[in-house]
Amino acid sequence: MKRLLFLLIGGLGVMTAPMQGATAETAPITDAVIVADHYRSVLQREEYRQEPSFDFLSQLGHWVVTVLQSLQDSFRHYEYSGQLIRLSYALMGTILALGVISLLYWGLKLFRLRYLLAKPASEKTVGERYYDVPESFEVGIRHAVAAQLWTTALLLSWRQFLSLLERHELVPADRTRTNWEYLEQLQATSIPAPTRELCHELVLRYDRYIYGAQPVTPEDWAQWNASLFALVRTLKLDRPIPASNAS
């Protein structure tokens, strides 16, 4: 019986000894020096290192202070060094103010441009009549011919022709349409085949002279003007509008 008791007491002593040692090893460290050293050693590890971030405003402020300090040190031995230092401060303040004003100006311009591009087209600008009355082109054509500006004369005469088509309601007035769309609408009417071919030829020549930037000679202008005049006579665009169609 005594042996059994000794064995039980000895077993309990063996079991509790490691637990007490483990508690001592895992006890919290309260020494401030040890904690600080451990913290510094952890920060030196590769995974905990922090790269210094670039702060533009801080760098700019540091540069301004450095420049002002250097100016102050440079002018310190002059007689009027106090006034020069104030002048340097005023100069740097003016430069900074001009920089801020320029940034605000260009920012406002970009904002307005973005607003205009994002603004949807209103109903008043879509489908609005683009060409003026045919008679308004006469003066411009005469001046262009007198100045031998054949490309300008050709452009104005074509716009006058399209204005005549609009006036006689052969095509609808729509500023968004191209010459080929005008030609397609005109060919849908009951016009003779030679007239359709002449219209097609004039559109091709217009593209060559205006969009292709081919120079227009006096002979080209004379041929263009004669063909356009013949087309106007064939389509009866030179006659007055009937009273029922007059606006």
Per-10-residue mean pLDDT of the chain, 247 residues long, equals 54 50 56 78 70 71 77 66 70 88 89 71 49 81 92 90 83 76 80 84 89 88 90 75 39
pLDDT on residue 244: 35
Q: Which residues have CB under 8 Å from 33's CB, separation 6+?
A: none
pLDDT on residue 59: 80
Alpha-carbon distance of 168 to 239, in angstroms, equals: 10
Q: Which residues have CB under 8 Å from 85's CB, separation 6+?
A: 71, 72, 75
Please tell me whether the overall predicted TM-score, pTM, comes out greater than 0.95 for this model: no
The percent of the chain in helix, strand and coil, each rounded to the nearest 5, is: 70, 0, 30
pLDDT on residue 125: 47
pLDDT on residue 149: 92
Look-up of token digits 């005049």: 229
Residue 53 neighbours by CB distance under 10 Å: 6
pLDDT on residue 187: 78
Residue 185 neighbours by CB distance under 10 Å: 15
Alpha-carbon distance of 206 to 222, in angstroms, equals: 14
Tokens, residue 125 = 């600008």
Look-up of token digits 């205006």: 210
Tokens, residue 123 = 């109903």
Q: Which residues have CB under 8 Å from 38's CB, separation 6+?
A: 29
Q: What are the strands, taking DSSP E only, across 13-56?
A: none
